[in-house]
Amino acid sequence: MEPIVLVHGGAGNVRDSRVPPKVAAVKVAAIRGYEVLERGGSAVDAVEEAVRTMEDDECMNSGHGSVLNSEGKVEMDSSIMNGATMDAGCVAVVRDIAHPVSLARMVMEKTPYVMLAGEGAMGFAKEMDVEMLPPGALVTDDAQKALEIYKQTGGVFYEIGETETVGEVG
């Protein structure tokens, strides 16, 4: 079987200046995920590593660099699924965690549940000794500017410097 790792960033009306960093981010993620397979890792290991790589990249809307909610806070959602067993793990409305996808994998592998959300997910993260970042550690300047523009324009989706009114939609 010839292995493959395929990754994506956000779908939307990405402005031209954001194209190079976003393309660079997905290229690195695909390579990192594939390296996991070359070292004997599983498909689950590979998708986790690829997503973790993008969660660390400020130009992607996940982990560090996530967009902000109306209160200026990062709230993240993530999921992972093992096609061999159809086991799945998901987290929703989690904060101050660098890699939500790894917490989702813990839900999949260490609980009888599919999804944990909000305070319950955060409590589970503490039980799993997941590192808690200081409040606001995942908030970037770009994300703050985007929220300011969002509020000024009355709620249209907007990227920093975008001349068009629609940015990434999710």
Partner 1 sequence: TVGAVALDFNGHIAAATSTGGLNGKHPGRVGDSPIIGSGTYARDDVGAVSATGHGETISKWCLAHSIITAMQRGADPQTATETSLNQMTDKLKETAGAICISKEGKVGIGMTTKRMSWAYRKGDELVYGIDKGKQEVENV
Q: Which residues are catalytic?
A: 165
- Residue 7 interacts with partner 1 (CB under 8 A): yes or no: yes
Asked if 84 interacts with partner 1 (CB under 8 A), we say yes
Write the interaction track for partner 1 spanning residues 95-124; mark x where CB under 8 A is met and - where it is not.
-----xx--x---------xx-xx------
**165: contact with partner 1 by CB under 8 A:** no
Compare residues 110 and 151 and give the one whose CB is closer to partner 1. Answer: 151
Cα–chain-centroid distance for residue 8? 11
Residue among 58, 93, 122, 161 that touches partner 1 (CB under 8 A):
93
- For residue 146, what are the contacts with CB-CB under 8 A and spacing of at least 6? 67, 68, 158, 159, 160, 167
Binding of partner 1 by 51 (CB under 8 A): yes
130 binds partner 1 (CB under 8 A): no
Is the distance from CB of 162 to CB of 15 less than 8 angstroms?
yes
Look-up: residue for tokens 């890792």? 41
Cα atoms found within 13 Å of the Cα of residue 147, Cβ hemisphere only: 15
